[in-house]
């Protein structure tokens, strides 16, 4: 039937995807390398496929969520005879190049390819808080948009399959920067026995205020106008960074997460831009040659 959906991979995320589709009343076939993760789905009305190829052959829409692209390539290359006419939606984390290579290969087999990046943790799947980035064949995305919206809000980024992973990795990079800053800050406060929970009550409003500044920094980047407008120039900020590093060292806290920020600032200041705002560091970060 045209409405069946196959879900390949029932790890933490794949299982949440399959459950959301079943919860919305869709007909779902599941497959997982280790069969014990598939068995509980039989009781919820899902079809259980004995192989990845069987699962791919069972539905026009095939959603794949595995650990990495090596696993995705393994699974798809074993199902060449089943691929023709299918739409493959691959929600596995990978690089833009991974996505472009597999898109070309899938299309050569006569199937459509959509790559996706899930901006949610498993418990958020199926709620409006989850959003998923997609890129690849626009017609296939339009055909299945309603189904994909069961999983979370959708954002289609364009026909280049590499765009969803690019945005995904960029968003994750900002998240890791935030987590890194949080860990360093908490350790610094903790070096004088301040409890993480109590410190976090102060930290969250501070970070919220700082995220409010990001659109203005983005405007400076987009207009190539980096001059410190609001009185926070880099030469002044470099003093604070130096004090953060000195205090980390004195308190026995690892300064490894903040030291690269000092290097970026020193470089920009040495180039004669000590009067820039933090936005000026964009020029340093964005200027590496490709494949460095």
Min CB(142)–ligand NDP separation in Å: 24
Min CB(67)–ligand NDP separation in Å: 4
Closer residue to ligand NDP in complex, CB, 37/267:
37
Min CB(239)–ligand NDP separation in Å: 39
Closer residue to ligand NDP in complex, CB, 93/233:
93
Min CB(69)–ligand NDP separation in Å: 9
Closer residue to ligand NDP in complex, CB, 63/257:
63
Q: Which residue is nearest to ligand NDP (CB)?
A: 11
Min CB(272)–ligand NDP separation in Å: 42
Closer residue to ligand NDP in complex, CB, 59/228:
59
Residues lying near ligand NDP in the complex (CB under 6 A):
9-14, 32-34, 37, 65-67, 71, 74-75, 92-93, 118, 121-122
Closer residue to ligand NDP in complex, CB, 25/50:
50
Min CB(57)–ligand NDP separation in Å: 17
Residue carrying structure tokens 């406060």: 189
Min CB(220)–ligand NDP separation in Å: 31
Closer residue to ligand NDP in complex, CB, 152/280:
152
3-state SS track over the chain: CCCCEEEECCCHHHHHHHHHHHHCCCCEEEECCCHHHCHHHHCCCCEECCCHHHHHHCCCEEEECCCCHHHHHHHHHCCHHHCCCCEEEECCCCCHHHHHHHHHHHHHCCCEEEEEEEECCHHHCCCCCCEEEEEECHHHHHHHHHHHCCCCEEEECCCCCCHHHHHHHHHHHHHHHHHHHHHHHHHHHHCCCCCHHHHHHHHHHHHHHHHCCHHHHHHHHHCCCCECCCCCCHHHHHHHHHHHHHHHHHHCCCCCCCHHHHHHHHHHHHCCCCCECHHHHHHHHCCCCCCC
Q: Please name which of 136, 130, 31, 50 lies closest in space to residue 88, comparing C-alpha atoms.
A: 136
Closer residue to ligand NDP in complex, CB, 10/189:
10
């Amino acid at each position: 039937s045209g409405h069946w959906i196959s879900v390949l991979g029932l790890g933490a995320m794949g299982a949440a995807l399959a459950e959301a589709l079943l919860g919305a009343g869709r007909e779902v076939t599941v497959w997982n390398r280790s069969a014990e993760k598939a068995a509980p789905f039989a009781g919820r009305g899902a079809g259980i496929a004995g192989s990845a190829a069987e699962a791919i052959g069972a539905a026009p829409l095939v959603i794949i969520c595995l650990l990495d692209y090596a696993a995705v390539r393994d699974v798809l290359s074993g199902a060449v005879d089943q691929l023709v006419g299918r739409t493959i939606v691959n929600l596995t984390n990978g690089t833009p190049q991974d996505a472009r290579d597999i898109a070309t290969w899938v299309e050569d087999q006569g199937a459509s390819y959509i790559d996706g990046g899930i901006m949610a943790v498993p418990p958020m799947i199926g709620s409006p808080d989850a959003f998923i980035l997609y890129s690849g064949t626009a017609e296939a995305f339009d055909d299945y948009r309603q189904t994909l919206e069961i999983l979370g809000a959708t954002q289609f980024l364009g026909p280049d399959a590499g765009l969803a992973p690019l945005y995904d990795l960029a968003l994750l990079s900002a998240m890791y920067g935030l987590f890194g800053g949080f860990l360093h800050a908490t350790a610094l406060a903790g070096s004088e026995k301040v409890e993480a929970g109590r410190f976090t009550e102060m930290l969250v409003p501070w970070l919220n205020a700082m995220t409010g500044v990001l659109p203005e920094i983005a405007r400076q980047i987009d207009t190539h106008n980096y001059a410190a407008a609001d009185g926070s120039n880099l030469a002044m900020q470099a003093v604070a960074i130096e004090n953060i590093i000195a205090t980390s060292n004195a308190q026995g806290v690892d300064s490894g997460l903040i030291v690269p920020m000092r290097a970026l600032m020193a470089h920009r200041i040495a180039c004669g831009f000590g009067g820039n705002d933090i936005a000026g560091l964009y020029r340093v970060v964005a200027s590496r040659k490709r494949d460095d």
